[in-house]
A and B are shown apart, each in its own frame.
Chain A
Amino acid sequence: MNNSVGNTARLIGAGLRALLVLTVICGVLYPLAVTGIAQALFNDKANGSEIKDKSGQVVGSSLIGQTYDLPKQAPSDPTAGDDAEEAAKPDLRWFQPRPSNGLGANSVNTRYSLILSGATNRSADNGAVNGKCTKDSEEGSLCAQVVAAKEAVIAENSTASYKVEPEDVPADAVTSSGSGLDPDISPEYAKLQVHRVAEQSKLDVKQVEKLVADHTTGRTLGFMGEPRVNVLELNTALKALTKS
């Protein structure tokens, strides 16, 4: 009996020492070594691929999507009531990213206002009525979000000379990404916004079209991933263009 207790204690001791040694190797030396090499060789990328505008101001990371919304105003119409939770309105002067309004807020740790990552996790039949997504779909459901987003994309991007048809709207324009921080949109969605952006910033459509073309990244080596447009880089270039 004593012997087996002693054996167990010895074994646990060996396990603990093994864990501590391996923690020093894999949990201290390894990450420090990798950090050292990363900071020396790829300083910019290891620190988050920040991008700067013309004036040298950091405007974010090329990898992290942002929202381009109008500042929240005090309700201009007092009769509209106390709807303080009113959704932010997009600032239509800028190219808009993928929707992310279905994502939750920071409820776990209110100490910080960290940018949060995550998906809606809604299923494709979430909110469906008789197997279809309609305007009657339950508020907040994926069906309701997709239907509303599609309507908004069509309304916002149609100008006097350019009508957006429902079939022109690509899937990424009306769905949320996996991270909620998708930095990119599809080239189709960028092109769809060209007329509106040109009108809003009083630029020539051709100029904005060229801007989008310049900022379109094809598939890596021709086959990896999907073609895409980085929204922050595009908007930064657009800003430079409107100021010049």
Chain B
Amino acid sequence: MSPVLAGVLQLLALIAALALAYRPLGDYMARVYSSEKHYKPEKWIYKAIGANPSAEMRWPAYLRGVLAFSAVSVLFLYALQRAQGVLPGSLGFQAIDPDQAFNTAASFVANTNWQSYSGEQAMGHVVQTGGLAVQNFVSAAVGMAVAVALVRGFARSRTGELGNFWADLVRGTVRILLPIAVIGAIVLVACGVIQNFAGIHEVGQFLGGSQQWNGGAVASQEVIKELGTNGGGYFNANSAHPFENPTPFSNLFEIFLILVIPFALTRTFGRMVGSLRQGYAILATMATIWIGFTALMMWTEFAHHGPAFDVAGGAMEGKETRFGVGASAIFSVATTLTSTGAVNSFHSSYTGLGGGIQLLGMQLGEIAPGGVGSGLYGMLVMAIIAVFIAGLMVGRTPEYLGKKIGTREIKFAACYILVTPALALGFTAAAMALPTPPHSMLNSGAHGFSEVLYAYTSGANNNGSAFGGLNADTQWFNSTIGIAMLLGRFLPMVFVLALAGSLAGQKPVPETAGTLRTDKPLYTGLLVGTILIVTGLTYFPALALGPLAEGLAS
């Protein structure tokens, strides 16, 4: 069997597995977020929090919950890293420097998991397992909560109420993420992912002497890192490290974990707004872009244009033998089209065009299928833009799911889509214009520019993957990427919740013969086109200077 055919079969197997999980998981999540019942252990949690989980919140209250919880999380994680030197179970690692601790705290709370540190050299058990891994759960649950609040905005009428943030946060964590994580972690251990508290210890070697390993709770962190589309590796090499991703099966399983919730949430959406077909239209949009990008990535990596690959005879630099080109390409597209940023192969060493595909995937706003929760709300905002554009063409007030898209709604949607490009391009321009930041580039020329563009695109879109050549552990990059991650996560949430509140307050407009049908292939095509054009026009000049210049030169 040729590697290309094997790659295609792996993609097909992945699609089949996702299709199998789609209905049960999507319906289950809809029940979780719609149920009136609180389980006993959940009641204890609400009691500890001091919140009434049945109290409905309007959008400002919901937003305050999101922001308060996230602000506390940033401070807690920052303090934990700063105190690492004196905490027990830290393996003797020192406190993290202030700028890097801020960057890491912002990164994990914003569901980005950009890492300017090297896991095995910097973080002990307490910070990794008690701090970073916890944010892998809760930052994902926050994303899902905001998505569900927006869905309720479409589903409800003549009320401003969007549900209860604390209930959504707790349910997302304990009813959805935790059970899947437990099962997934055991599967990963069965493949060979380590799970122990051995700390740093010596192991014998073939030619004598010994090597030093850093053991830890890797499987339990690896599974939620993928499932919550977080991406922060226990080890520096992330999911390329054999202790994080030991076999071809564990590799496909991890890609499955990355994609399963974001795709299934479209079913949840369809259920909650009372029309499964609307969910399918969104699903079709996501799947079209994802499959298209994966096919393009496989094509460019198997074709392996580039001077070093011409000599080597294949694009294997930065890729593991057990995965090869095909399984690496599938992973890298899944990770950049979601907000994951985990890597099983190193993006900086992809072909020039391959790097462009990764960049473009993030620049689309990570909506195909996107991060857990953030993918769905990002896509729904684009869906609103698409009906608005269609409405302009025929001169009608646009509607989506029985709600009028008026001035107020379109303003929130427009603000949403402006935030991340402004952050990514603004900071890139500033970094390139200043004298010192460009010193961090490892490669020169177009690829060096791509490193900086990639860093801010990844930060602002909460991805977290990197063109690793960039030395990002400087005060400039730690601070600015930290700010980009926080603003890139929470400003859009402000607009999404404001939009949700405004939609929930409307009375439904009856469907007429002139209403654009948003559950048909025509609309899916319009939506795909809108996404590509809006993003393409925004980022094309920057892409032309970086990956396109590199890719076309070879």
Contacts and interface: CB of A to CB of B under 8 A. Distances in A.
Contacts of B319: 175, 177-178
Interface string B298-314: 00000001111111111
Interface stretch (A79-87, A195-203, A206-214, A218-226): A218-226
B195 interface: yes
Interface in A80-126: 91, 94, 98, 106, 108-109, 111-126
Contact of A121 (B76, B224, B308, B468): B468
B469 interface: yes
A42 B190 contact: yes
Given A19-B72, A171-B316, A223 B6 contact: yes
Given A120-B317, A125-B308, A22 B195 contact: no
B237 A179 contact: yes
A219 B248 contact: yes
A220 B65 CA distance: 47
Interface string A170-207: 11101111111111111000000000000000000000
A132 interface: yes
Nearest to B169: A18
Nearest to B125: A31
A17 B194 contact: no
Interface in B237-266: 237, 240-243, 246-249, 251-252
B443 A114 contact: no
A131 interface: yes
B442 A122 contact: yes
B491 interface: no
B447 A26 contact: no
A222 B120 CA distance: 34
Contact of A117 (B92, B174, B237): B237
Interface string B309-344: 111111111111111101110000000000000011
Given A42-B190, A115-B213, A177-B319, A133 B13 contact: no
Interface residues of B, number: 127
Given A119-B349, A177-B320, A226-B323, A126 B314 contact: no
A133 B343 CA distance: 27
Contacts of A30: 178, 181-182, 220
Given A119-B317, A236-B206, 10 more contacts: A17-B49, A26-B137, A68-B207, A117-B241, A121-B318, A121-B467, A131-B554, A178-B240, A182-B320, A225-B251
Interface of B: 1, 3, 5-6, 9-10, 13, 45, 48-51, 64-65, 68-73, 76, 92-94, 117-118, 120-122, 129-131, 133-134, 137-138, 166, 169-170, 173-174, 178, 181-182, 185-186, 189-198, 200, 203-207, 211-215, 217, 219-221, 224, 235-237, 240-243, 246-249, 251-252, 305-324, 326-328, 343-346, 348-349, 351-352, 355, 442-443, 445, 447, 467-469, 550, 553-554
13 contacts: A27-B129, A31-B133, A35-B197, A59-B204, A63-B242, A66-B207, A109-B122, A112-B212, A114-B200, A125-B306, A225-B251, A226-B321, A226-B327
